[in-house]
Amino acid sequence: MTIQVESIPVSNSHGLRDRDDFLTGLLNQVISPKTQDWLEELRQGAAHGVRRATIPTTRNEEWRFTDLSALRQVQFHVDTQLKSADISALTLPEAVNSRLVFVNGVYAPHLSAVADLPSGVVVGNLAGLSQSQQEGVKPYLAQAEGSQEVFTALNTAGISDAAVLWVGKNVTVDTPIHMLFLNTADKQPSIYQPRCLVVAESSSSVTLVEDFTFAGLGDTENTKNKPVYLTNAVTEIWLGNNAQVNHTRLAREGVEAFHIGKTTVTQARDSRYTCHALTFGGRLSRHNLEVFQTGEQTETTLNGLTMISHKQLADTHSVIALNHPHGTSRQLHKCIVGDRAHAVFNGKVFVPKPAQLTDAGQLNRNLLLSPKARVDTKPQLEITADNVKCAHGATVSQLEDDEIFYLQSRGINESDGRKLLINAFAAEIINQIPVKSLQNILLNTVNGHE
């Protein structure tokens, strides 16, 4: 069975010329001076694909609910200045000595703190790796399935540095690794392209927190500081035999930001991968989460929470490709949608004939907080194996009047009652995050969300 992942739409008509020009303009912005020969070869190959591509439109099936026309109206520029930033409110006490920080896509060693990690663990930036370490990275960087998707290829075409986490064989990392990608965008629209590579060798274990955020987040007094910027992020995660990765991904962008993210996970035999993907900010956000099984008896858990309001659009597309026997996957994606916001969920699970004795479950639950809130949901199972246990479903609901009335009868006012119900809906996802301080931060975010 052939697994269909998103590829580069190729221009074949004069009617697409405007979009070609926009994409070419982005490409010209992100291409940086020549680097090492092996990296330059990757970049040139990706750039060749981008030059032949077009930005997806709603005529593309994978993008039919997500209109990128507003993105094409902005002229973005690259901002590679390493500006000063206060990250005190963004750090995690559990990761005080295991933090990697990039500001505007540039590694910030003065804000990073990496110490006391076990032998066999590398946490750093690609440009700072030794020659032998870079040789080890080559078979993994930009080698995952789906690397030709247009925004992924654009990111690869502009690679000059990347966040790297490497966990050696039989190594367990007890402290979470916090990778903070901070934007300090101002008046000029900017594009940032964070890149992250994670390699967990056989029988290793690690917890990773990826955080994409804006320096002015939560600044309610400076209402005019609402810069327009584009974050185009790519993360590749490779799990060896019997490896375990617990991954939390946060997208907390500015209110006028565009966020397009790609996470590709490759799981070898007996490996266990868990993802908690949470989206709060941004004018428009899209996360492509793709998991590919390369060996038997893998365990995959995907938890997602989207919380949006006003006129935000948040789109999650996921793929779980179970190509071998005895695989297990569980996916729960929740959306809380208020005002005129629009959430999109499309989750595909592929179970071809070789994947006998697969156990896969998928559920999308949506909570609409206003009459004009909208959700488009499409859970998908494609099964050709005949000895499997698979189920999927989706629900769309509103806050129930009788539930609110019950809380009021117990002395809780209507506003607090609504918050209590929303918090309980979100907590099912948040409470599974293995970093306690982050749980508290996110529960407070839910409570304070407008």
Task: Give residue-wise pLDDT tens across range 268-294.
Answer: 999 999 999 999 989 999 999 999 999
Handedness of CA 442, 444, 445, 449 (dihedral sign): positive
List the chain residues with pLDDT less than 50: 1-2, 12-19, 220-223
Q: Report how far apart the first and last C-alpha atoms of the chain are (Å, whole number).
A: 45
Q: To the nearest whole number, what is the mean pLDDT of the chain? A: 92
Q: What is the 3-state secondary structure (H, E, C) of 173-189?
A: CCCCEEEEEEECCCCCC
Q: How many Cα atoms occupy the beta-carbon half-sphere of 281 within 13 Å?
A: 28
Residue 419: alpha-carbon gap to chain centroid: 26
pTM: 0.94
Residue-level pLDDT at 16 = 46
Residue-level pLDDT at 112 = 96
